[in-house]
Amino acid sequence: QKEVEQDPGPLSVPEGAIVSLNCTYSNSAFQYFMWYRQYSRKGPELLMYTYSSGNKEDGRFTAQVDKSSKYISLFIRDSQPSDSATYLCAMSAGMGGKLIFGQGTELSVKP
């Protein structure tokens, strides 16, 4: 069993839709949870991070962490074609510790 599981998709939605991306994990030591966006053959860029359980909102993006269920989510509201990319969840046990990634979900937002 992988430490972090993420549905690879691909996921295709119409412009304006709400997108839900999810990851599950098995290591209860994870405390820091992040979402990265990666365009084709570029380095990942950090979208959001959350420490421990809870919700965090930044513009059209909302991250949720449920440690009791070992489940994290990223919601994208009013999705745009420019949101088309691969979204990777990632988590670590400590600040600055090694980061474990999910497989990534390929998202396509159609105009």
Partner 1 sequence: GAVVSQHPSWVICKSGTSVKIECRSLDFQATTMFWYRQFPKQSLMLMATSNEGSKATYEQGVEKDKFLINHASLTLSTLTVTSAHPEDSSFYICSASLSDRGTVGYTFGSGTRLTVV
Binding site for partner 1 (CB under 8 A): 6, 8, 32, 34, 36, 41-46, 49, 51, 88, 95-104, 106
Helix (DSSP H) and strand (DSSP E) numbers for the chain: 0, 11
- Nearer residue to partner 1 within complex by CB, 18 or 29: 29
CB of 108 vs partner 1, minimal distance in Å: 14
85 strand-pairing partners: 107
**Residue 52: other Cβ atoms inside 10 A:** 10
Q: How far is the CB of 66 from partner 1 (least distance, A)?
A: 19
Taking the least distance from each CB to partner 1, the nearer of 16 and 54 is 54
**Considering the complex, what minimum distance in angstroms separates the CB of residue 78 from partner 1?**
25
Q: Quote the DSSP letter at residue 75.
A: E
In contact, 33 and 44? CB cutoff 8 Å = no
Residues 88, 62: Cα–Cα separation, whole Å:
15
> Could you tell me the smallest distance in angstroms from the CB atom of residue 40 to partner 1?
10
- The residue among 70 and 106 lying less far from partner 1, judged by its C-beta, is 106
